[in-house]
Structures are given as C-alpha cells and as structure tokens.
Structure 1
Amino acid sequence: MLRYFIKRILYMIPTLFGMSIIAFVIIQLPPGDYLTAVIAAMQDAGQVANETEIARLRAAYGLDDPVYIQYFKWIGGILFRGDFGWSFEWNRPVADLIWDRMGPTLSISILSLLFVWAVSLPIGIYSAVRRHSIGDHVFTLLGFIGLAIPNFILALTLMYLTYRYLGQSVGGLYSPEYVNAPWSWDKFLDMLAHLWIPVVVIGTAGTAALIRILRANLTDELSKPYVLTARAKGLPEYKVVLKYPVRIALNPFVSAIGWVLPELISGITITAIVLNLPAAGPLLLQALVSQDMYLAGSFILLLGALTLIGMLISDLLLALLDPRIRFN
C-alpha cells in the first residue's frame, strides 16, 4: 500500500504540470485580454484611452510578453515563492483572494457532504431492504423531486419561507450586525442559523442521486449467494445486511470523493450567487468573465489539484473498504 501511495504521488507531479499548461492555455483562448475589456468599458463610458496609456498598462500588467513568458513567470512564482500572481481586477494578490474564499467554501461544502451522507445512507439501506414498500415509494418520489428541482429555485423558496415565517435575514452567512463583528459565540450561532439553507440546497440533489445509487447496488448485493448463505446459517438480519453487503454498496459513496473536492470550489456557484455567499465559485466566474487570467488560471489549477487529491483519497479508502480491490 505504501509503495502504491508513493507511486501515485510521483505520478501527480507531471500531471499537475500538464494541468497548469492546460489551465493557462484555456484562459488565453478567448479573444483579447483583461486590458481589452477595460478599454471597452472606458469607451462605453465615453472615455478615450490614448496609445501611450494603453502601452503603459500592457507593460504594467505584463501583457506585452509572449504567452510562454507569461506562463513561466506565473508557474515559477507558484513553485518558488508560492505567488499565484496579481489580480488585475481586484488589484490584490491572487493567493489572498483565494484563501479568503476557501474558508466559507470549505465549511459549506463539507457540511453539505456530511448532510448528503447522513441522509442518503439510512434511506438508501431502508429502500433496498424494504423494496416496493410504502416507505420506499415515498422516498423514491421525494428523491425524484429533489433531482428535478433546480438549486436556485429551492434556495429562493427557502429564503422566502425563512424570512416570512421565521423573521430571519436572508442572504450571506451572517446577519448585518455580525458581518464585520469579531468572532464570538453569538456570531457563531448566527452563522449556524444562516448555514442550514445552503447546506440543504446544495445537498438535496446529491442526496437524491446517492439514494438511488445505494438502493440499486445494495439490492444487487442482497441477492447474491453469500447473503443467502448467511441467512441460512441463522445470522441476525442486521448482521446479514450491514456486515458485507452495505460495505460493498458503499463504494460509490467513497469514489464520489474524487469529484466532491473540486465541487467544493466550482459546484455551488449558482447557489452562492442566489444566496449571496462569500464562496469561491462566484469569484471564479467573475474572473473568467473579466479575463483576469492569473486569478482564473489559479482557480482552474486548484480544481485540477483537488481532483487528483480526491481520486487518491477515494482509491485508498476503497482499498481499505473492499478487500477485493486491495487484493487486486
């Protein structure tokens, strides 16, 4: 296992290097650059930028360098100084912008993941064991509704109900009086009061999907000969279900970590915009629209790194969970 882990880590190094090239190429594909967007905005406002000012700005932003020079400056700063570059639009270091948004993003997304697992695991087991029962049909209906309702519609509905019947301020992670207040117990409780809405909204679709996956996998496992043999030996039903079939059926839960980690950044963009959350997704979207290349490229590279880390974690956990995978 240790040898496999070290090998995977070594493979990740050239993969990340390739991802950095792809990320930089992607942000260079749209015509123009950040300065082009700035000049267009100035012209829309009736201002005229002379050639001397344009040349000065291009030199200041480093946009007059060839693309490969810009790339090596960017990747060199990341490797040797931990410097992800300078955000043109925000006029701040990219690293500061990213880390400012990662705290709320990680909190929301990890809590959403725990919500998904806590809800879908018992419901999925129940639906598989009690197939075609009234409870199974009810959970199936609710699951289809959860898959069908767009996140932003559910977010708007919960915002209205919370404001209308609970009198709670909506939008953001804090009430207005706690936004700039220092951390305290009251501020923490206020954050929890606001946090449940994005957690439920983001977790609803994932919960519905994993319930269906777990139900299908566990149903298949329960019909296999080793389960029938365990029942024939007189083992209690909870041991028959939980000891082996559930462990095998949990593989999709564990393998989902590979795509859950990048979802921590990009997957809650629409919900974060609707709920006015200080998450990373809206910042990435804004960077792509404004062609803030170092900010957008750093986010794309971070998504690639999180994908690799998630795949490594899921593979290791699968090997620990399923002896068949470990043996192979």
Structure 2
Amino acid sequence: MVQFLGRRVFYMAATLLAISLVVFVIISLPPGDFVTALEARYAVQGTRLTPDEVAQLRARYGLDGNVFQQYWHWFSQIVLHGDLGMSFEHQKPVKEVIGARLGATLGISLITLVVTWVLAFAIGIYSAVKQRSIGDYAATTVGFLGLATPNFLIALIFIYFSVSWFGSVPSGLCSPEWCDASWNLGKLLDLLGHLWIPMIVIGTAGVAGLIRVIRNNLLDELRRPYVTAARARGVPEGRLLRRYPLRVALNPFVSTIGWVLPVLLVGDIVTGQILGLPTLGPILLGALKSQDMYLAGSIIMVLSLVTVIGTLISDFLLGWLDPRIRLGNQR
C-alpha cells in the first residue's frame, strides 16, 4: 500500500506542475492583458493613458516580459515563498481574495457533498434492490430530470417561487441584518435558512448522477453467479448485500471523489452569480473577464489541487476496498 500511494503522490506532483504551465499559458492566450483592459476602461470614461503610464503599469504588474517569464515568476514565488501574487483587479494579495471566499465555499461544498452522498447512496441501493418498483421508477424519473435540468434553471425556478410566495429574492448566505452580526443562534438559524437553496441547486445534478452510478453497478453485481450461489447457500439477503455486491459496486462510487470535490468547491459559476453566493465561482469568472491572470491561475490551481487530492483519496479507498487495484502493477 505504501508503494501504491507513493506512486500516486509522485504522479500528483507531476500533474500539478503540468497543469500550472498549461493553465497559465491558456489564460494568457486572449489578445491583450490586464493593462489593455484597464486602458479600455479609462477610454470609456474619457481618459487616455500615456505610453509612459502604460509602460509603468506593465512593469508594476510584471507584464513586461513574455508569457513564460511571467509564468516562471508566478510559479517560483508559489514554490519558494507560498506567494500567489497580487490580484490586479482587487489590488490585494491573491491569498486574501481567495481566503475571503474560501470559508463559505468549503462550508457549502462539504454540506452539499455529505447530503449528496447520503441521498444518492440510499436511493441508489433502494432503486437497485427494488428494481421495477414504483420507488425505482420515481427515482429514475427524478434522476433523469436532475441530469437534464441545468443548475442555473433550477436556481431561477427557486427565485421565481420565492418572489411569488414570499415576496423576496433569495440571495447570498445571510439576511442583511445578520451579515455583520457576531455569531449566535439567530445568525446560525438565518444561515441554515439560506443554505438549503444553494445546497439543493448545486447538489441536484450530483445526486442524480451518483444514483445512476450506484444503481447500475449494484444491479450488475446482483446478477453475478457468486450472488446466486450465495443465495442458494442460504445467506441472508441483507448480509449478502453488504458483504459482497455492495462493496464491489462501491468502486465506481468512490472513484467519483476526484471530480465531485472541485465541482462542489467552485460550484456552478452561473448559479453562483444568480444566487449571489460568496463562493469562488463568481470571483473566477470576474478574474477571467478582466484577465487577472494571477488570481484566475491561483483559483484554477486550487481546484486542480483539490482534484488530485480527491483522486488520491479515491485511489486509497479503491485500494482498500479492492486489493486487485493496488496489486495490479505488481503481477
């Protein structure tokens, strides 16, 4: 197991290095840069920057070199000093911009992840064990609707009914009177009152997809000859389900951690904009629009890090669940 995890950690480091280069180059591909966008803003306001001012701004923001020089400056600062650079748009260190949104983002993500897994696991098992029952058909229908309906459309539907029934627009994670208040029971209840909407909107597609995964794989295992043989030996159905097919069917379920975590972390960018969520998604969109490369690159690197960590967790759990996986390269 140690060698198995050691190989995965090495692959993780190499993957992050490659991702950092690709991400930075892609962000730099659109014509112009942050100073170009800044010139356009000043032009709209009727002010023009002189060539000297433009040159000074490029030197100030480190944009006077080519893309690889800029990448090396950014990456070396991260590796040597843990410095993600300055955000051009916010005029703050990138750490502060990300840190201001990270708490709310992680809170929403973790709660959504737990609820997503619990619901998907329970409904997927029920749907497989009770195949072709009314509950199975209902779960399948809801699953297809969840996969087919975009998250932003679900958010708009929530807003419509909230305005129609309650006369208010659900926005953010707190009411105006509680946002600046210190933490107490009232603020916690207000947070919970706002949290269920983004949790449902963001988690709908995840629940629907995972239900299909666990249902289909468990159905496949329940048809295996070893399940028929175990039933013929008189093994109780509950014990049989827990000990054999369910454990094998968990492999694809566990392997989804790598892509579920970053999706939940950044959320749906459009959904975040609609619901006014203080998450990383809207910040990333704004950074890409203004070509704030250090901020955009750092957020994408955070998502990449979460992805590879999620993949490492998936590999560890898969190796623990199924010894064939961790021993496959040793044969």
Q: Which amino acid aligns with 1:312?
A: L
CA RMSD of aligned residues (A): 1.7
- Contact map agreement 2:206 2:260 (CA 8 A) in 1: no
Aligned counterpart, 2:218: 218
Aligned counterpart, 1:25: 25
Q: Aligned pair in 2 of structure 1 residues 274, 107: CA closer, same or farther (>3 Å)? A: same
Aligned counterpart, 2:316: 316
Deviating beyond 6 angstroms after TM superposition, the runs of 4 or more aligned structure 1 residues are none
TM-score, with length taken from structure 1: 0.95
Aligned counterpart, 1:152: 152
Q: Aligned pair in 2 of structure 1 residues 113, 237: CA closer, same or farther (>3 Å)? A: same
Unpaired segments of 5 or more residues in structure 2? none
- Contact map agreement 1:169 1:175 (CA 8 A) in 2: no
Aligned counterpart, 1:230: 230
Q: Distance in 1 between matches of 2:42 and 2:258?
A: 43
1:209 equivalent to 2:209? Answer yes
- Contact map agreement 2:146 2:205 (CA 8 A) in 1: yes
Aligned counterpart, 1:184: 184
- Give how far 1:168 is off: 6.7
Q: Aligned pair in 2 of structure 1 residues 118, 296: CA closer, same or farther (>3 Å)? A: same
Aligned counterpart, 2:126: 126
**Deviation sequence 1:92-113 (CA, Å, 0-9, x none):** 0001111211111111122111
- Give how far 1:117 is off: 1.2
Aligned counterpart, 1:138: 138
Q: Distance in 1 between matches of 2:264 and 2:81?
A: 25
Q: Distance in 2 between matches of 1:265 and 1:26?
A: 22
- Secondary structure of the corresponding residue to residue 75 of structure 2: helix
Q: Distance in 2 between matches of 1:172 and 1:267?
A: 14
- Secondary structure of the corresponding residue to residue 182 of structure 2: coil
Alignment of 1:102-117 (within 5 A): 102-117=102-117
- Contact map agreement 1:178 1:187 (CA 8 A) in 2: yes
Q: Distance in 2 between matches of 1:323 and 1:16?
A: 27
Q: Aligned pair in 2 of structure 1 residues 118, 74: CA closer, same or farther (>3 Å)? A: same
Q: Which amino acid aligns with 1:92?
A: K
Alignment of 1:292-307 (within 5 A): 292-307=292-307
- Give how far 1:220 is off: 0.8
**Deviation sequence 1:33-74 (CA, Å, 0-9, x none):** 000011111112222222222122122112112333222221
Q: Which amino acid aligns with 1:159?
A: I
Q: Distance in 2 between matches of 1:323 and 1:19?
A: 30
1:38 equivalent to 2:31? Answer no
**Deviation sequence 1:185-224 (CA, Å, 0-9, x none):** 2212211111011111111111111111211111110111
TM-score, with length taken from structure 2: 0.94
1:254 equivalent to 2:254? Answer yes
1:63 equivalent to 2:63? Answer yes
- Give how far 1:139 is off: 1.5
Unpaired segments of 5 or more residues in structure 1? none
Q: Distance in 1 between matches of 2:212 and 2:14?
A: 37
Worse-superposed segment, 91-100 or 130-139:
130-139
